[in-house]
Amino acid sequence: MQVQSPPTVQPSEPQLIDQLATPNGVASECSRRAKTQIDFLLLAIEALDLGGAEAMLAAAKELGLENVVQGRVNLWLLRSSNPLRRFSQREPMSLSEGKALVLITCFLAKRLTVLIRQLLLGYQQLSDQGLSFEHHFRLSDYLSRFRSHFRARMNAKRAGVIVYATDEKLNELAIELLTKLLFCTGTDGANRLWVSLFDGEVS
C-alpha cells in the first residue's frame, strides 16, 4: 500500500501580527515616518534598559516572532531602514516587520512601566519647580544616554536630525518618546500605537 506524504504546510505569520489592524489605504510597506518613529521608540528603550538590544531579541522569541525578526543582524537591518540613520539601509520594511517591532516595543514598554511613570513624574515635578534635570539622577541618566545613542546613530546632516542639534531639543524628544511608550502600556496599546504611525497618511 502506498502511503502519501502529508502536504507541506507553509509557515504562517505569527498570530499576534494578525491581530494588528492596518488602516485602509496603507501601502504594502511601512512609510518613512513609521520606520523613523519605530526606531526612535526602540532607541528610547535602549536608553532606559542597558540590555535593550538583547531584550528585544528575547522579546521576539517570547512573542513567537523569530520568523519575522531573525536575529541580531536582521534586527539591525530593520532599524537601519530608518532614513535618518547614519548608516541607513535603503530597504523597505514590510507591514509584518513593522508590526513585529511594534509588538516588541509594547512588550518591553510594559515591563518598564514603573520606571517610565517615575521618570515622567520626575520630569513634571522638576518642570513645576523650575529645577534642572540633574536634580533627578535616573531622569538625567536616561536623557544623557538617549542623547548619546541618538548622536552616535543618526546622520547629523539630515534635516530631520538637524532639528535636534541641541541638548534641549533632544531632551524634549526623549520625554515625548517616554509619553508614547507609556501610551503603549495601556489597553490595546500595540494596536493603538500601530494605527497612530499612519496618522495623516490615509483618508
Q: What is the pLDDT of residue 96?
A: 94
Q: What is the pLDDT of residue 44?
A: 97
Cell for 79? 532599524
Does the pTM exceed 0.75? yes
Rounded CA-CA distance 188/48 in Å is 22
- Per the CB < 8 A criterion, the answer to whether 55 and 108 are in contact is yes
Find the largest Cα–Cα distance for the chain: 85
Cell for 188? 490595546
Full pLDDT tens readout for the chain, 203 residues: 444 444 433 344 557 888 888 877 777 889 999 999 999 999 999 999 988 889 999 999 999 999 999 999 999 999 999 999 998 877 889 999 999 999 999 999 999 999 999 999 999 999 999 998 888 999 999 999 999 999 999 999 999 999 999 999 999 999 999 999 999 998 889 999 999 998 765 44
Cell for 96? 509584518
- Per the CB < 8 A criterion, the answer to whether 32 and 98 are in contact is no
